Structure 1
Amino acid sequence: MARVDFAFGAQDRLRMACEVAHKHYLASRSLIVYCRDEQMLGDFDRQLWGFDPTAFVPHVRADDPLASSTPVWLTADPPQPARHGAPAAWLLNLDSQCPPGAEGFERILEIVSDKPEDKQAARLRWRQYQADGHTPCAHDVSNT
């Protein structure tokens, strides 16, 4: 089973997701960012380019020809744990539902803002992960 970490209390969900992607890039760890909502995925893509004037996070769509040499992949399709011969990537789920194939990942990261609809969706995902045999962990990030 995957380790599932929920970061609750994010002031800005997408900004924190950018910070997470940046940390993974600096740690030389592959990261798949999943969201079925193309609008949100596009917003995240744009934010990665400018969330920090000194940060750079190389990223492409998972089906891009450069994916094999890029550490962060964005996808609206069901995420694949290992792509292009790379080591198993961690999954950052930005979708409102649990990602398909969650059991194939070593680790899944969930970021939750204080918005009521975001918290409600996170509660449903938490229960679904539990029903699927995962043991989610909660982390309060409201003071970061």
Structure 2
Amino acid sequence: MTQIFFYHGAADRIAAAAGLIAKAWAQRKPLVVYAPDPAVAGALDRALWTRNPLDFVPHVNAGSPLAGETPVIIADRLDELPQDERLMNLSGEVPPGFSRFTSVIEVVSEEPEVRQPARERFKFYKDRGYEVQALDLAGKA
């Protein structure tokens, strides 16, 4: 069954997501980032490009011809992806087909427009019997 991880209390959701993605890449763990909002996807892409050059994270959009060989994929849809191990959700909704992934990572900031939908997703997962772990990012980027 899919494991769900809620990283909450992020001062900056995009920076926190970029940090978690970099950590996954450092461990050579592939990851799909679900970001259907083009502004969020663009902000994440910029954040990954502007990190410390020694911490470069290879990433592409799902439509790229290199998606099959790139460890981090930023997707606006979750059909026809080359991997289904880890999914980071940067949308305001439960990702479609999330249960095919081994784990789902939710990154939540203190902003009410992010927090309230995250609470609803947390309840959704719990009510369906998924193992949900909450991890506090307060005081971290």
Do the structures match in fold with TM over 0.5? yes
Cross-structure match for 1:57? 57
Cross-structure match for 1:26? 26
Residues of 2 paired with 1:79 and 1:113: CA distance?
27
Cross-structure match for 1:139? 135
**Offset of residue 54 of structure 1:** 3.2
Unaligned runs of 5+ in 2: none
Identity of aligned residues (%): 36
Cα gap change, 1:107/1:79 in structure 2, threshold over 3 Å: closer, same or farther? farther
**Offset of residue 66 of structure 1:** 0.8
**Offset of residue 28 of structure 1:** 0.9
- Is residue 18–residue 47 contact of structure 2 (8 Å, CA) maintained in 1? yes
Cross-structure match for 2:17? 17
- Is residue 10–residue 107 contact of structure 2 (8 Å, CA) maintained in 1? yes
**Offset of residue 114 of structure 1:** 1.0
**Runs ≥4 residues deviating over 4 A:** none
Aligned alpha-carbon RMSD (Å): 1.6
- Is residue 11–residue 139 contact of structure 2 (8 Å, CA) maintained in 1? no
The DSSP-based 3-state class of the residue aligned with 2:131 is coil
Letter in 2 for 1:16: A
**Offset of residue 89 of structure 1:** 2.5
Asked whether 1:100 is paired with 2:96, we answer yes
The DSSP-based 3-state class of the residue aligned with 1:54 is helix
**Offset of residue 79 of structure 1:** 5.0
Residues of 2 paired with 1:91 and 1:79: CA distance?
13
TM-score (norm 1): 0.89
- Is residue 8–residue 141 contact of structure 1 (8 Å, CA) maintained in 2? yes
Cross-structure match for 1:3? 3
Letter in 2 for 1:27: Q
Residues of 1 paired with 2:128 and 2:64: CA distance?
31
**Offset of residue 117 of structure 1:** 1.6
- Is residue 34–residue 79 contact of structure 1 (8 Å, CA) maintained in 2? no
- Is residue 15–residue 51 contact of structure 1 (8 Å, CA) maintained in 2? no
